[in-house]
């Protein structure tokens, strides 16, 4: 079974559908979109005949993540795959960035990934199998934007965390990280047309990714086909020329 954090919308919902379509029982973790989470649960159960749980939990909250873990183990008695997908981007002008927003971004994107990985990774290590996939971003490597310095730093942190977690949970749990470029999701809904055009021109494939194109890679990394892929940082950006 699979847990995808922040999976009621965007990339997370595509990732969890990919697992459901491959007969995985699913945990849809959500933060605020209860209705969307329930609709997705109904859709996946009906379409793929799998079992789905929806669980509200803030990935950066220790008690809520522990409680989510207890519910999952109580229901399924195992955990095969965890995808750390939940994330926020509080884009603002460089001059207007506040400590509060900066710390919030680190808290959700970086601490949230650590928090979930620690709780579930320790269990996977004891059960001697499992796969963790972290969602970073090309922003964590080499695409630079003044308005998202906090987000970019958090995603660079996720890359470093991936190496440490892979080391910590070896040899039983494979930990990998993907770095998408631009993806068509609600996170990008406020970008203006001029900026989208400029960014699209930097991409060799000349378009943003569809969420399912990213979901395919995430799913692959957790399969036996990828049994020797560990501690890897994989970019998936259509070829970005910065």
Which residues are known to be catalytic?
151
Report the chain's C-alpha Rg in angstroms.
17
Closer residue to ligand NAD in complex, CB, 128/189: 189
Which residues in this chain contact ligand NAD in the complex, by CB under 6 A?
5-6, 8-12, 29, 31-33, 58-60, 85-88, 108, 112, 135, 137, 180, 182-183, 185-188
Closer residue to ligand NAD in complex, CB, 25/113: 113
Closer residue to ligand NAD in complex, CB, 125/204: 204
Pairwise CA distance, residues 129 & 79, whole Å: 9
CB of residue 31 vs ligand NAD: minimum separation in angstroms?
4
CB of residue 95 vs ligand NAD: minimum separation in angstroms?
23
CB of residue 15 vs ligand NAD: minimum separation in angstroms?
9
Closer residue to ligand NAD in complex, CB, 108/124: 108
CB of residue 136 vs ligand NAD: minimum separation in angstroms?
7
């Amino acid at each position: 079974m699979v847990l995808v954090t922040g999976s009621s919308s965007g990339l997370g919902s595509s990732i969890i559908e990919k697992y459901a379509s491959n007969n995985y029982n699913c945990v849809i973790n959500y933060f605020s979109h209860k209705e969307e989470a329930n609709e997705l649960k109904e859709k996946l159960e009906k379409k793929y005949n799998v079992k789905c749980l929806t669980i509200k939990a803030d990935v950066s909250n220790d008690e809520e993540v522990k409680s989510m873990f207890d519910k999952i183990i109580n229901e399924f008695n195992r955990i095969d795959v965890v995808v750390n997908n939940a994330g926020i981007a509080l884009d603002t002008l460089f001059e207007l960035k506040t400590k509060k927003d900066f710390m919030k971004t680190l808290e959700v994107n970086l601490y949230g990934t650590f928090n979930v990985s620690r709780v579930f990774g320790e269990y996977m290590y004891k059960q001697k199998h499992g796969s963790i996939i972290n969602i970073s971003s090309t922003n964590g490597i080499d695409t630079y934007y003044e308005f998202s310095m906090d987000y970019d730093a958090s995603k660079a942190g996720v890359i470093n965390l991936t190496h440490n977690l892979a080391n910590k949970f070896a040899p039983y749990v494979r930990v990998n990280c993907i770095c998408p470029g631009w993806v068509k999701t609600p996170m990008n809904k406020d970008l203006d047309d001029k900026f989208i055009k400029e960014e699209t021109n930097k991409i060799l494939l000349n378009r943003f990714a569809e969420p399912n194109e990213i979901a395919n890679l995430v799913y692959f990394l957790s399969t036996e086909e990828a049994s020797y892929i560990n501690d890897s940082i994989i970019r998936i950006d259509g070829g970005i020329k910065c």
